[in-house]
Amino acid sequence: MMGSLRRTDTTNTADVNPGDTIIELSNVAFGYTAANVVKDISLSIDAGEYVAVVGPNGSGKSTLMKLILGLLRPDAGEARLFDEPSHAFDDGSRIGYVAQHASTSKNMPITVREVVKMGRFPHVGFGRLSEEDWEIVDRSLDAVGMTAFADRRVTRLSGGQRQRAFIARALAGEADLLVLDEPTVGVDAESVDAFYDLLETLNHDGITILLIEHDLGAVVDRAERVVCLNREVYFDGPTTEFAESDALSRAFGATASVLSDSQ
């Protein structure tokens, strides 16, 4: 056991208390063109929650995530992050972000350790990584089982291995909020289970988790709260109620079920 992945330095950011509102959307609408991709989204996520956003392909899940992170600005309504307008929020050390990277291929020569190192950049700014920063990098590598691959070129890894590296980068950031956009796409089934266990442990440590997922099975088993999305919010509540509600069939269409959609 290498010690905690949770932040070891509490000096650089104001700590969040459980129950503080981290993400708040009120009546948000957004469209890349005149047509709205998402509309009437009101959502509030508190510190310490484990929330999964589910919805069919093209339902606006990724757009919602970008609005939350401030990568997009809402056409209507307001998006707030850590009690600041999302687009103005710039304390990157509080957010860990894992995207659907596994499918992207870049020809850039860069090792797994160099990728994970980037997780520390918001903490070091223009400076150099301290010994402690490097320890955190190594611990994060260890947590995702990639220590043996630390000096491998990322471009020569399998999709699953690459995704582990990106997850390690998010861990190395020691963030208060982890945002993951379909993080297990391309990851082998065995690692997927272990990965969700890891998220659960992080959540128990007090990290807020926002998971965008297409794999409904994984979500129903793990998250405390589900937001079901298809342009609008169809359901927002405890996972147990979600399974019993008809939100799923309304959002996904009549034929969808938890099992058939899990692949």
Partner 1 sequence: MILAMAQSLQAGPIDVLLGPLYVFLELWSEFLFLLAGITGLELLTFKFMHRAILVGLCIGVMAPLIGTFLVHRQLALIGDALAHTAFAGVAVGLFLNAVLNLGVSPYLTAVVVAMIAALFIEIISETTDAYNDVSMAIILSTGFALGTVLISLNAGGLSVSVNQYLFGNLATVSVENAAILLVLFAVIIAVVGLTRNQLLYVTFDETAAQVSGLSVSWYNRVMVVLTALVVVGAMQIMGVILVAAMLVVPVAGATQISKSFTQSILVSIVLAELAVLLGIGAAYYGEATAGGVIVLFAVGIYVLAVVVGKVWMTAGETTSPELGAIDSNDTDPASD
Q: Which is nearer to partner 1, 4 or 260 (CB)?
A: 4
Site string for partner 1, 40-69 (x = CB under 8 A): -----------------------------x
Residue 244 makes contact with partner 1 by CB under 8 A: no
SS3 123: helix
Q: Which is nearer to partner 1, 184 or 230 (CB)?
A: 184
Looking up tokens 């099992």 gives: 259
- Residues 249, 213: Cα–Cα separation, whole Å: 16
Residue 92 makes contact with partner 1 by CB under 8 A: yes
Amino acid of residue 52: A
User: 198: closest CA among 246, 158, 164?
Assistant: 164
109 close to 152: Cβ distance less than 8 angstroms: no
Applying CB under 8 A, among 14, 76, 124, 243 the residue interacting with partner 1 is 124
State in angstroms the smallest separation of the CB of 11 from partner 1.
15
Q: Which residues contact 200 (CB under 8 A, 6 or more apart)?
A: 50, 222
Query: 157 to 176, contacts with partner 1 by CB under 8 A?
Result: 161, 164, 169, 173
Measured at the alpha carbon of residue 230, what is the angle toward residues 191 and 213, in degrees to the nearest 5? 5
184 close to 192: Cβ distance less than 8 angstroms: yes
Residue 30 makes contact with partner 1 by CB under 8 A: no
Q: Which is nearer to partner 1, 20 or 232 (CB)?
A: 20
Residue 198 makes contact with partner 1 by CB under 8 A: yes
Applying CB under 8 A, among 11, 19, 33, 106 the residue interacting with partner 1 is 106
Residue 200 makes contact with partner 1 by CB under 8 A: yes
Strands 177-181 and 208-213: parallel
User: 52: closest CA among 192, 198, 206, 178?
Assistant: 178
Question: Which spans of this chain sit near partner 1 (rule: CB under 8 A)?
Answer: 1-6, 8, 69, 71, 89-93, 95, 97, 99, 101, 106-111, 113-115, 118, 121-122, 124-126, 139, 142-149, 151-153, 156, 161, 164, 169, 173, 179, 191, 194-195, 197-198, 200-202, 204-206
